[in-house]
Amino acid sequence: MTPQRSNPDTMRQDLGIMFAALAAGPEVYQPSKFWEQLNEQNVAQLEARGLGNFKRTLAQNYFTWVVGVRSPLFQHLAAAMTASDWRRVMWGLPMFSRESDLGLRRFYENQIFTRMVWIVAERVDRLNVMKSLQEPAFGNPFRIFFEGRLISQDLANSVIEMYAILEAHMPAPNDAFTVCEIGAGYGRNCFVFRSFFKHCKYIIADIPPALYVSQAYISEVLPDAKVMQFREFSDFSEIAADFAEADVVFLLPHQAALLPKKSVNYFVNISSFHEMNFAQVAHYFDMVDELTSGNFYLKQWTSFFNARDKMTISASDYKYKNSWHRIYDRTPSTHPSFFEALFKIN
């Protein structure tokens, strides 16, 4: 299945195959009411504006936020800026452009906020990963240039998250290791990992339409990567050969459960466990425990009310395995309403 960014009929057909395969899977992997509603919105946005504009539509349902100056998140980052930081942030701000899809005030708030996130990411970038990174043009990102480079919130946050994921053990650039991310959005973390760690195998396990979008995106922005695209299978032996050869693998969540035990070095979930019910979170923790020989990173809202499913999940509600060793549990530098935690899985 090869995503076609310019063919709506092919997109509908491919999405239909993915949704049918998801519906045929076990109940525990089915989307919550929250995600059923969000998926309807995401598909409508894809059909209305296409893959070519997803960074202006779907991405804002994931982790790209147009944050106003009155927002606690904006104020949190502003308080972290030094005088020299502010000179960099304000220098060379562009003329307002209607192409941005934003009004005048939101345009400048988005420019300033994104530059602040970028500066915070630079502070942790001891390997200088960001020097070789630029926001890919595919998806029509907001045109935010900073010191001669196209940047984004997502690129900066993915660098920050990469260091958090690898904090307990930083692989060498040429090391081979495997990352599995449940709920990867459009694949922003995969792009950063594979851009720096050329021998990293990255597994994206997600539901459509996110799985469809991430598959299209990664195939476009990492053209040299060997991609194992989504397909239906019921036993790992059916895909073992292709899986072994692949750099990036795309699966539905119930397919990820079929991976060999202890085959993942880093298991990741960012901002989606709080949108599931408690039974689903517990099931995914079982999956993490079974598949991971290494570390598990999660980053979630400290407290999140899911109105569609009529439930609230807070940081204290996550029931970790007694056998897991907690490396840290803290507030992320750029998102004070979130928590992030890293565990060593025995």
pLDDT digits (tens, 9 = 90+) for 1-39: 444 445 777 898 999 999 999 999 999 999 888 878 888
Distance CA 255, CA 88 (A): 46
pLDDT digits (tens, 9 = 90+) for 293-327: 999 999 999 999 888 888 899 999 999 999 999 99
Given this model, what pLDDT does residue 4 score?
40
In 3D space, the residue among 180, 201, 312, 173 whose CA is nearest the CA of residue 259 turns out to be 180
Distance CA 170, CA 342 (A): 14
Contacts of 178 (CB under 8 A, 6+ apart): 200, 201, 202, 203, 263, 264, 265, 266
Structural domain spans, the chain: 72-152, 159-344
Look at phi and psi of residue 133 and say left if phi exceeds 0, alpha if psi is from -120 to 50, else beta.
Answer: beta
| Residue showing tokens 């997600």 | 206
The arithmetic mean of pLDDT across residues 210-232, rounded, is 97
- The residues pairing with 250 across neighbouring beta strands, listed in sequence order, are 204
Query: Does the pLDDT at position 75 exceed 50?
Result: yes
pLDDT digits (tens, 9 = 90+) for 270-298: 999 988 889 999 999 999 999 999 999 99
Per the CB < 8 A criterion, the answer to whether 14 and 1 are in contact is yes
pLDDT digits (tens, 9 = 90+) for 98-136: 888 899 999 999 999 999 999 999 999 999 999 999 999
| Residue showing tokens 């491919």 | 14
pLDDT digits (tens, 9 = 90+) for 159-203: 999 999 999 999 999 999 999 999 999 999 999 999 999 999 999
The arithmetic mean of pLDDT across residues 228-233, rounded, is 97
Distance CA 256, CA 80 (A): 39
Given this model, what pLDDT does residue 123 score?
97
Beta-carbon count within 10 A of 303 CB:
14
H or E, element range at 285:
helix 278-291
Q: How confident is the model at residue 346 (pLDDT cuts 50, 70, 90)?
A: confident
Instruction: Say whether 311 sits in a helix, a strand or coil.
Output: strand
Say if domain 159-344 classifies as CATH 3.30.70.930.
no
| Residue showing tokens 């001891």 | 126
Instruction: Say whether 313 sits in a helix, a strand or coil.
Output: strand
In 3D space, the residue among 207, 251, 208 whose CA is nearest the CA of residue 227 turns out to be 251
DSSP per position, 239-263: THHHHHH-SEEEE-HHHHTTSPTT-
Given this model, what pLDDT does residue 2 score?
42
The arithmetic mean of pLDDT across residues 150-158, rounded, is 96
Per the CB < 8 A criterion, the answer to whether 269 and 298 are in contact is yes
DSSP per position, 158-200: HHHHHHHHTTT----TT--EEEEEES-TTTHHHHHHHHH-TTE
> Measuring CA to CA, how many Å separate 261 from each of 176, 234, 265, 271?
18, 16, 11, 25
For 107, phi then psi, to 5°, come to -55, -50
Per the CB < 8 A criterion, the answer to whether 75 and 83 are in contact is no
Given this model, what pLDDT does residue 308 score?
81
Given this model, what pLDDT does residue 85 score?
98
The arithmetic mean of pLDDT across residues 217-236, rounded, is 97
In 3D space, the residue among 118, 107, 124 whose CA is nearest the CA of residue 148 turns out to be 118
Query: Does the pLDDT at position 224 exceed 90?
Result: yes
H or E, element range at 269:
strand 264-270
